[in-house]
Amino acid sequence: MRGNTAGEGRIGMLSGRQRGILLLLSRHKEPVTAEWIAKELSVSDRTIRKELKNMQGDCKQLGVSISPIKGKGYCLHILDHEVFQQEINPILTEADSGGYDFSDQKTRVHFLLKHLLLQEGYVKLEQFEREMYVSKSTIQKDLRHVREMLGKYKLSLLVKPHYGVNVAGSEYRKRLCFANYRLMEDSSKNNSRLSEKAFADQIKRIIINKVNVHKIEISDVALGNLTNHIVIACKRMEQGFAMGELEHTIGEAHPFEKKVALEIIGEVEALAGFSFPSAELEYIIIHLMGTKLLHENALTEYREFDETREIVSCMVTRLKEELNWDFTSDREFLHALALHIRPAINRLRFEMNIRNPLVNDIKVKYPSAFEGAIIASKCLEDWLSVKVEEDEIGYIALHIGVALERMKRKARKQKRVILVCASGVGSAKLLSYRLQEQFSRELEIVECINYYKLADYDLSAIDLVISTIPIAERLAAPVQVVSNFLEADDIKGIKKRLTSTEKATKDSYLAEDHVFIGKQLETKEAVIEFLSNILYEQGLVSKQYGRLVLEREGIASTSFGNLVAIPHPTMPETKDTFWTVCTLAKPISWNENQMVQVVCLLNISKDAKGDLEEMYEQLISIIEDKKVIQQVIKAKSKTEVIELFQTETVRS
Residue 11, pLDDT score:
57
Here the contacts of 196-200 (C-beta below 8 Å, separation 24 or greater) are 196/231, 199/231, 199/234, 199/271, 200/227, 200/228, 200/231
Residue 90, pLDDT score:
58
Residue 251, pLDDT score:
63
Q: How far apart are CA 415 and CA 412, in angstroms?
A: 9
Instruction: Let me know: does 125 contact 164? Beta carbons within 8 Å.
Output: yes
Q: Given this structure, which CATH class describes domain 105-169? A: mainly alpha
CATH code that applies to domain 415-500: 3.40.50.2300
Query: How many residues in total does the chain contain?
Result: 652
Q: Where are the domains of the chain?
A: 8-97, 105-169, 188-289, 307-411, 415-500, 512-651
Residue 417, pLDDT score:
93
Q: Which residues of the chain have pLDDT under 70?
A: 1-14, 16, 39-42, 85-101, 103, 133, 182-196, 247-253, 292-305, 411-412, 424-425, 499-508, 592-593, 608-611, 647-652
Strand ranges inside 50-127, DSSP E: 64-69, 73-78
Looking at domain 188-289, which CATH architecture does it have? Orthogonal Bundle (1.10)
Which are the contacts of 33, defined by CB distance < 8 A and separation ≥ 6?
A: 45, 72, 73, 74
**Superfamily assignment of 512-651 in CATH?**
Mannitol-specific EII; Chain A (3.40.930.10)
Backbone angles phi, psi at 544, to 5 degrees: -85, 5
Alpha carbon 649 to its chain's center: 25
Cα radius of gyration rounded to whole Å, the chain: 31
| CA proximity to 166, closest of 157, 177, 154 | 157
Alpha carbon 490 to its chain's center: 36
Predicted structure pTM score? 0.62
Give the 3-state secondary structure of 157-225.
EEEECCCEEEEECCHHHHHHHHHHHHHHHHHHCCCCCHHHHHHHHHHHHHHHHHHHHCCCCCCHHHHHH
Topology (CATH) of 8-97: Arc Repressor Mutant, subunit A (1.10.10)
Q: Is 188-289's fold the same as 307-411's?
A: yes
For domain 307-411, the question of CATH label 3.40.50.300 is answered with no
DSSP code string of 404-437: HHHHHHHHPPPEEEEEE-SS-HHHHHHHHHHHHH
